[in-house]
Every structure is written in C-alpha cells, then in structure tokens.
Amino acid sequence: MITRASLLLSVWLALICNAIEVRAADARNGGTRPQSNVQRIIGQVQQRKFVALQPPIANLRLTTIKRQEARSVLSGELDLSTYDGEAVMVEGVIDGGWVYEARIVDRAGPILTAVVRELFRKQAP
C-alpha cells in the first residue's frame, strides 16, 4: 500500500531531479537563469485547461506574450491539447489570472502524473 508519506517523498525526489535537469538545461543555454519575478508552477492539463496545483491558483491561463506587449493576451495563448491528462511544470510571470511568457519546462510521464494527481487530489482549487 502506498502511503501519503511515500507519495510526498516520491514527488519531492522527482522535483529535485527536475530542478537538477532544469539547471543543467539553463547551463547549456548559456547560463541564463529565470528573472526574479518568473515562477515555476506545477499543474495538470484537463480538457485543454491548465489547473495549477503548486502554488494552488484557480483559473490560470497561459500566454507566450510579455505583460507589457501591445497585443491581445489571447493571441499568444498556449495550445495545451498535446498535454491533456498530463502533469506539467510551467515557467512564467503570474499576473491577473494569466501566466505571461509561459513555457512548458517539463512534462511528467504516466507514473509521475498519477503520483502528482494523487498527491494534490484534495488540494486542487
């Protein structure tokens, strides 16, 4: 039987491994690091919509445009159809129900998606 503690440990280890991989990828890209206002959000995609789990923020939408860009936020909205049913990590700037400059930095496989779903089952907004 899988206990909540073992699920937490599994997710914690997965997040540590992901952080190491993201830092390695940052180093490969010339050492660029996220700006201080850029956040990483763990969530899952359900019916082409992003559901933020950590931090638990309701009704977040993802767009590739910058906050001060002079065009519609909707014109840069990410198509999440290829991630449907998966846990993902998004990086971007949260403001007014949108994640600006959003990009998917990682997607979980079936096992980790199931662990994330179980771990955050009662915490979803």
Phi, psi (deg, nearest 5) at residue 108: -85, 150
Count the Cβ atoms, other than its own, within 10 Å of residue 96.
Answer: 8
pLDDT at 5: 61
Residue 33 pLDDT grade (very low, low, confident, very high; cuts 50, 70, 90): very low
Number of folded domains in the chain?
1
The SS3 of residue 103 is strand
Token look-up 């979980």 returns 108
Q: Which residue has the higher pLDDT, 104 or 118?
A: 104
**Average pLDDT over every residue of 79-96:** 96
Other Cβ atoms less than 10 A from the Cβ of 71: the count is 10
Does residue 125 belong to any structural domain of this protein? no
Residue range(s) defining the domain that contains residue 59:
4-119
Q: Is the pLDDT of residue 53 over 50?
A: yes
Query: What is the reported pTM?
Result: 0.70
- Provide mean pLDDT across the span 52-59: 93
Q: What is the pLDDT of residue 4?
A: 65
**Other CB atoms within 10 A of residue 21 CB:** 12
